[in-house]
């Protein structure tokens, strides 16, 4: 059989609905495009190391660096020039203890970075991740009880103290990532009671105990020294519970709720979007970024195409805000190619 014969259908075809009609040219495809990634919806995570701690590129996160305080200000300036106006701060302290004292130190690395950023770049939106795991010697997200379990209510007090010290330094948004019960309500009350009722809380509402955080823990030096985080972070198979967590946080006063990780949890971005009327954020975490970079370095995927698909996938799923290590490079590429 030759090609012409093959192409001639034997059964009569009477097609009027042809979705392919709208895919025939770039202009037509652009005209009917439903979703788009806005640079102004992206948040770049930034790691800032205290003096004496190593700085430079993180091996498992190519293109992502640990900065000094000055370096972080320089990076923020570059982000702003690209239209990325929000960053999420993580501190790497020079001392750790059982009760995360360096986390609420007014001279701590996060507090100093907030002050430097707000002084030099007041328009940049500075969000601080609020957790204890980078500051405890045991690497857990809270204070341990006698049994070695994280004590929920004692940890709240500690989080409140740190939140106030970030507020005093001038933070714009506080993002608690510890997964203690009741922390949004506790933080809201603590902030309001000290005159910080204008500071929004972006809550890591549905945060799962995930293998996708591996490279982050290398970067931040926050791997638990024993056990894991399964007694406070969520169990990955649970979807209903994620919705419950989000609704509880909204009831407690969360201004934004987050789903984390993002890629394997897109159903939950959609589910949380549908039950809530606050903005929904997703966190495209370190392991998700590292996988893309590793495959791209091997020449196995086209990085730019894959990043575009991943980011617009979050928008399609319902995310209003996307926290991603790709933010800066994505904005740079859009600037070059538009």
Contact (Cβ atoms closer than 8 angstroms) between residue 319 and residue 284: no
Say whether residue 286 binds ligand PBG (CB under 6 A).
yes
- Can you tell me the distance from the alpha carbon of 169 to that of 196, in angstroms, rounded to the nearest whole number? 12
Distances, alpha carbon 192 to alpha carbons 197, 253, 291, in Å: 4, 11, 41
DSSP 39-85: GGGEEEEEEEEPTTS--EEETTEEEEEEE-HHHHHHHHHHHHHTT--
Least distance to ligand PBG from the beta carbon of 317, Å? 18
Which one of residues 208, 216, 265, 314 is an interface residue with ligand PBG (CB under 6 A)?
Answer: 216
Least distance to ligand PBG from the beta carbon of 31, Å? 36
Say whether residue 285 binds ligand PBG (CB under 6 A).
yes
Q: Which stretch binds ligand PBG (CB under 6 A): 181-189, 216-224, 268-276, 296-304?
A: 216-224
Which one of residues 72, 87, 117, 141 is an interface residue with ligand PBG (CB under 6 A)?
Answer: 141
Rank residues 121 and 181 by Cβ distance to ligand PBG and give the closer one: 181
Residues known to be catalytic: 207, 260
DSSP-derived secondary structure letter, 279: -
Burial 71-96 (b: 16+ CB within 10 A, else e): bbbebbeebbebebbbbbbbbbbeeb
- Can you tell me the distance from the alpha carbon of 54 to that of 56, in angstroms, rounded to the nearest whole number? 7
Considering only residues 154 to 183 of the shown chain, the ones binding ligand PBG according to CB under 6 A are 177
Question: What's the half-sphere exposure (Cβ side, CA atoms, 13 Å) at 199?
Answer: 29
Rank residues 121 and 125 by Cβ distance to ligand PBG and give the closer one: 125
Least distance to ligand PBG from the beta carbon of 173, Å? 14
Say whether residue 133 binds ligand PBG (CB under 6 A).
yes
Say whether residue 135 binds ligand PBG (CB under 6 A).
no
- Can you tell me the distance from the alpha carbon of 243 to that of 259, in angstroms, rounded to the nearest whole number? 10
Least distance to ligand PBG from the beta carbon of 229, Å? 6
Residues that bind ligand PBG (CB under 6 A): 129, 131, 133, 141, 177, 213, 216-217, 222, 285-286
């Amino acid at each position: 059989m030759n090609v012409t014969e093959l192409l001639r259908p034997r059964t009569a075809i009477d097609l009027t609905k042809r979705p392919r009609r709208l895919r025939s040219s770039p202009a037509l495809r652009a005209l009917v495009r439903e979703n788009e990634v806005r640079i102004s919806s992206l948040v770049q995570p930034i790691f800032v190391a205290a003096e004496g701690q190593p700085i430079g590129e993180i091996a498992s996160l190519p293109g992502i660096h640990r900065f000094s305080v000055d370096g972080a200000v320089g990076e923020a300036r570059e982000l702003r020039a690209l239209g990325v106006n929000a960053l999420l701060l993580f501190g790497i302290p020079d001392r750790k203890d059982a009760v995360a004292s360096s986390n609420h130190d007014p001279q701590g690395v996060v507090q100093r970075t907030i002050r430097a950023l707000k002084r030099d770049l007041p328009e940049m939106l500075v969000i601080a991740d609020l957790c204890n795991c980078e500051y405890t010697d045991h690497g857990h997200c809270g204070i341990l009880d006698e049994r070695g379990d994280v004590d929920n209510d004692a940890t709240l007090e500690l989080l409140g103290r740190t939140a106030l010290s970030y507020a005093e330094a001038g933070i714009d948004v506080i993002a608690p990532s510890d997964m203690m019960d009741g922390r949004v309500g506790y933080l809201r009350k603590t902030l309001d009671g000290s005159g910080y009722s204008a500071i929004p809380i972006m809550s890591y509402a549905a945060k799962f105990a995930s293998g996708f955080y591996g490279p982050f823990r290398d970067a931040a030096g926050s791997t638990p020294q024993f056990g894991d985080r399964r007694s406070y972070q969520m169990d990955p198979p649970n979807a209903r519970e994620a919705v419950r967590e989000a609704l509880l946080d909204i009831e407690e006063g969360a201004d934004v709720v987050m789903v984390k990780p993002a890629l394997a949890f897109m159903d939950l971005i959609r589910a949380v979007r549908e039950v809530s009327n606050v903005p929904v954020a997703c966190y495209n975490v370190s392991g998700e970024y590292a996988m893309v970079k590793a495959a791209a370095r091997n020449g196995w995927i086209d990085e730019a195409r894959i990043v575009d698909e991943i980011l617009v996938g979050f928008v399609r799923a319902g995310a209003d805000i996307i926290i991603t290590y790709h933010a800066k490079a994505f904005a740079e590429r859009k600037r070059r190619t538009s």
